[in-house]
Structure 1
Amino acid sequence: MNILPLFLCAAWLTVPGFAAGTGVEKAALEVSARIKEKPEGVAGIFDKSLFQHISLEKLTEVLAGVYKDNGPVSSTVLVSSAAGSGHFFLDTEKGYRVPLALSLEAGSGKISGIFFGPAYRKDSSLKDVKERLAALPGRTGLLIRRLGEKPENLEAHNEDAYFAIGSGFKLYVLGTMLKERVSWEKVYRLAAEDKSLPTGRLRDWPAGSPLTAHTLAAMMISESDNTASDALISALGRRTIEADLAALGHSDPGRLKPFLKTSDMFRLKSGTAAALEYLNLEGEEKYVYLSSLSKTPLSLEGFTKSPFGVDKIEWFASPADLCRLMAYFVQKNDAKALEILALNPGLNISRENLVYAGYKGGSEPGVLSMTWLLRNKKSDWFCLSASWNNEKDNLAQSEFTGLMQTALNALGK
């Protein structure tokens, strides 16, 4: 229940025919030259260690895919480099910019690590982002808002409609910690019953492990650790979270009742029988059912890999709800909470104008959601929140993240 990074890396270059003075710059040009319909000579530029993680066939397919989606590379632009690594932009003839990160193996001087970030339109505006998001299949929503005493919507599309937000719900757990004035130093013991399924590392920790509220919150937000979020929901109490939702800016708290743990979600979406029984219950009966369901062993194998219950069994919020929640974090101005939100910025953030970026996203079959809290050099605060739901088909994550990268770049100018 988290946005996962793309496996391969990429370098970031822009000026046509720049002088390739270093090994990593030359390597970036070699990669650019192999982004074509039928890449040739791929094996020769990569260190053999890379092929322990990805086959030559798959790597060639990825390079061809970059070409198919974005066109041939017209220029390779160096963003930054260090010993044996570099970040670049690959600008294409179709007007896209593809982030690339590379690392070299010291002995051979060949590429040992490569990552392509989501491509985005180089010169698109916020309006372009809204229009392209609205054209996606399924349901989409977007809000780009300047926060402050008099908030201003810069672009909006279905901003008051409710969407499944996946792990975006964890922002409400963090907000409740502030509302309830939980001490960051407070120590909790990890309970066996709070261990959930991935994402996250805490599920492998011994029961009884001592963890501070700060550690749990940091892992919940930056790594989307499901066990950390379930432990905090147990500690706070789901009823407490529900009671605080209105104060945190949610326009219809009933849509988040009962406030589900990730383990609840895994169990409910592991079979239609449990889901149907839950959906046919009313009010307090659902809480009783979740309590009894918690005794069922968790199984990742049973969790559906296709959209299921996206419009019925989920955490629901609108883009406007999530922006009001981000405004709450600005209002509380809790240094630790803001630091936690900024541990993982989600995508590439232009630091030329944006001095702060807090983020939480969520993803699962049929669900994508990404929300940022941003501050520029003028100390203006902004919220960018977007969701995409489709009850029928899995979603093109790269297309969605590319649009969000475009929006971030536009806000960072």
Structure 2
Amino acid sequence: MIMPRTRTRFAVVALVATLALSACGGTATRPTTTTSTPDFAIDTSTPLGALNDRILQWINSDSAPDAAAVDAVTGPELAEAVAPLGGLVAPLEQLRAGAPNVATGFESGAQTGVLSITTGGIPATISTSIDADGTLNGFLAKPDTPQISSFDDLDAALSKVAPTYSYSASRLNGGDCEAVYSTNADSVLPLGSVFKLYVLGALTDEIEAGRVRWDDRLTIRDETKSAPSGELQNLPDGTAVSVREAAEKMISLSDNTATDLLMERLGHDRIERQLGVMGHHDPSIMTPMMDTRQFFVIGFGDPNLRSEWADADPDGREKLLEQADARPLEIDFENFLDNPASANGVEWFANAQDVCAAMAYLASSSAGEENRRILAITPGVHLDAAQWPYSGFKGGSAPGDLAGAFLATDEAGQDWIVTEQFQSGEAIDLIPSSYAFLVAQEAFALLN
């Protein structure tokens, strides 16, 4: 989860690059129930109250917010801050995906307000501020995180995110994970973009071996571009990027097109071999390995492909990957948002021990210094730098799936690895997703 820092008084919490495999959190239209509790209503007699009431209607509507109407009440400073997200309508749509968002309170000053809501059983707030002309110059949506004083508190908090989850916290000792606490660590759950750790490991091992160079060039082609998250899919056909740029974007922005370029350069079979090298307990569950474009085509294109994938043996899955390569990238988010592809095995899978082993390998291999640098570009959590001088991260999400892997070094020089994985039968939306990673951040206090 990223909380962008801008000149505005508030930023927007949104499901963006570091966590996302796809930008599908707010793209579909799905019916919801509406607005607030019967015994609570926002006082609309002030401009700020009327604006918050409108926001509440937008995030509970049966249809997507009208972009023009949202833009009309968004001030220029906030508009500039949220432009990379597709405007304020994008986070509003992500919030709407978690409806019903039930209003429980509203506190208002002259120019700032805090709207309290509950979504998916998780309390949250939407903080807003307005300019003298009544337009929004600040917007921050975030869950209320409980105090985490024990691992029991942690379990109680994480169980609100999804019915199936795992968590592990391990001390890194000589390249091995020594668990200090875990829940459901043997459960095999989806990885989302956390699978890209294996791509990074294969890449840096090949660079160490001299078979790939950081300044090698990769060519972006329209026919092989993947869907967001990321940036490279927006570049013109024929654009060349370096291996280093692709690797950095694959991890820091979870760039899917960058990932597929690297997988093509290395070969899928090379990355499949990396699963065992990095300690995966059963590489066969990710073999043959799909790239991200294949994931979208099989999981969110023709509905027959995902059912065929579920029933296919390895040879049959290889043929489906070939079919996916020949098909256009057409994604039916509306039909599949609440029908996660991972239920049919269209994902990448591992347990908490596998994820810890993968992160441990990256931290301890001969390429460890470079791996750590890349993992730290987007650290994932905001830890006290005096207590945690290093923090690295890779996260991932897809409809119904959420995962995160954290590598942090304490003030004594001890490395720690924390993993989270969640799986649900429906989309895990903005507030629960943000909540999961804020809880993980709070739980670091239990480790040193």
- TM-score interval (norm. to shorter): 0.7 to 0.9
For 1:80-119, list aligned pairs within 5 A: 112-119=137-144
Q: Which residue of 1 aligns with 2:82?
A: none
- C-alpha change, 1:309 and 1:220, in structure 2 (3 Å) is same
Q: For structure 1, which segment, 124-133 or 174-183, has the greater mean C-alpha deviation from structure 2 after superposition?
A: 124-133
- Alpha-carbon contact 2:74-2:135 (below 8 Å) kept: no
Identify if the C-alpha distance between structure 1 residues 283 and 223 changes in structure 2 by more than 3 Å, giving closer, same or farther: same
Match of 2:397 among 363, 366, 369: 363
1:346 pairs with 2:380: yes
**Do the aligned partners of 2:165 and 2:422 also contact (CA within 8 Å) in 1?**
yes
Match of 1:299 in 2: 330
Match of 2:199 among 173, 194, 197: 173
Q: State the partner residue of 1:186.
A: 216
CA contact (8 A) 2:42 2:106 kept: no
In 2, are the aligned partners of 1:179 and 1:244 still within 8 Å (CA)?
Answer: no
Q: Report the residue type matching 1:142 in the other structure.
A: Y
C-alpha separation in 2, matches of 1:114 and 1:388: 28
Query: Does the C-alpha gap of structure 1 residues 250 and 239 become closer, same or farther in structure 2, counting only changes over 3 Å?
Result: same
> Counterpart of 2:443 in structure 1: which amino acid?
A
Task: Give the 3 Å change call, closer, same or farther, for CA 172–268 of structure 1 in structure 2.
Answer: same
Instruction: Check the 8 A contact 1:9/1:116 in 2, yes or no.
Output: no
Q: Which amino acid aligns with 1:376?
A: D
The structure 1 residue matched to 2:146, chosen from 121, 138, 144, is 121
- 1:216: Cα distance to partner? 0.4
Q: Which shows bigger deviation, 217-226 or 267-276?
A: 267-276
| 1:365 Cα deviation from its structure 2 partner | 1.3
Helix, strand or coil at the partner of 1:121: coil
Q: Secondary structure at the match of 1:386?
A: strand
Aligned AA for 2:392? G
- Deviation per residue, 1:85-124 (Å, 9 max, x gap): xxxxx9xxxxx9979988887x979861222333211354
Match of 1:30 in 2: none
1:226 CA drift (Å): 1.0
Partner of 1:323: 356
- CA distance in 1 between counterparts of 2:376 and 2:404 reads 14
Q: What secondary structure, in the 3-state scheme, does the structure 1 residue paired with 2:337 have?
A: coil
Structure 2 vs 1, CA of residues 66 and 54 (structure 1 numbering), >3 Å: closer, same or farther? farther
Which position in structure 1 is the counterpart of 2:27?
Answer: none
| Matching residue's letter, 2:197 | L
Identical aligned pairs, as a percentage? 25
Equivalent position of 2:274 in the other structure: 244
Separation in 1 of the partners of 2:308 and 2:137?
Answer: 51
Q: Identify if the C-alpha distance between structure 1 residues 125 and 396 changes in structure 2 by more than 3 Å, giving closer, same or farther.
A: farther
Q: What amino acid maps onto 1:313 in structure 2?
A: V
Count, aligned residues: 361
Bigger Cα displacement from structure 2, 125-134 vs 107-116: 107-116
Matched, 1:374 2:408: yes
1:366, CA displacement in angstroms? 1.0
Bigger mean CA offset, 113-122 vs 223-232: 113-122
SS of the residue corresponding to residue 265 of structure 1 reads helix
Separation (CA, whole Å) in 2 of partners of 1:308 and 1:399: 16
Instruction: Give the match's secondary structure for 1:384.
Output: strand
Residue in 2 aligned with 1:287? 318
SS of the equivalent of 2:293 reads helix
Q: CA deviation at 1:334?
A: 3.2
Deviation digits for residues 170-218 of structure 1 (CA, Å, limit 9, x no counterpart): 1111111122224322222223333011222211212221211110011
Distance 2:42 2:378 in 1: 34
Question: 1:103 & 1:228 partners in 2: Cα distance?
Answer: 37
1:276 to 307, 311, 320: 307
The 3 A distance-change label for structure 1 pair 120 and 187 is same
**Displacement after TM superposition at 1:388 (Å):** 0.9
Cα gap change, 1:411 to 1:66, in 2 (>3 Å): farther
* Structure 1 unaligned blocks of 5 or more: 12-35, 74-89, 91-95
Q: Which amino acid aligns with 2:296?
A: F
Contact 2:297 2:331 in 1 (8 A): no
Q: Helix, strand or coil: the match of 1:343? A: coil
* In 2: Cα distance, 1:229 partner to 1:376 partner: 30
**Which amino acid is the alignment partner of residue 293 of structure 2?**
S
C-alpha deviation, 1:264, in angstroms: 0.8
Counterpart CA distance in 2 for 1:244 and 1:103 is: 49
Structure 1, residues 272-315: CA drift from partner, whole Å, max 9, x if none?
A: 21223333332233223312331111113367212333131110
| Alignment-derived partner of residue 180 in structure 2 | 154
| Stretch of structure 1 that moved more, 335-344 or 219-228 | 335-344
Q: Which amino acid aligns with 1:178?
A: T
The whole-number CA distance in structure 2 between the counterparts of 1:309 and 1:116 is 28
> For the residues of structure 1 that align with 2:361 and 2:418, how far apart are their CA atoms?
14
Is 1:254 the counterpart of 2:287? The answer is no
Give the TM-score taking structure 2 as reference length: 0.70
TM-score by length of 1: 0.75
- Unaligned stretches of 5+ residues in structure 2: 12-38, 52-71, 80-86, 108-115, 117-121
Cα RMSD of the aligned pairs, angstroms, is 3.8
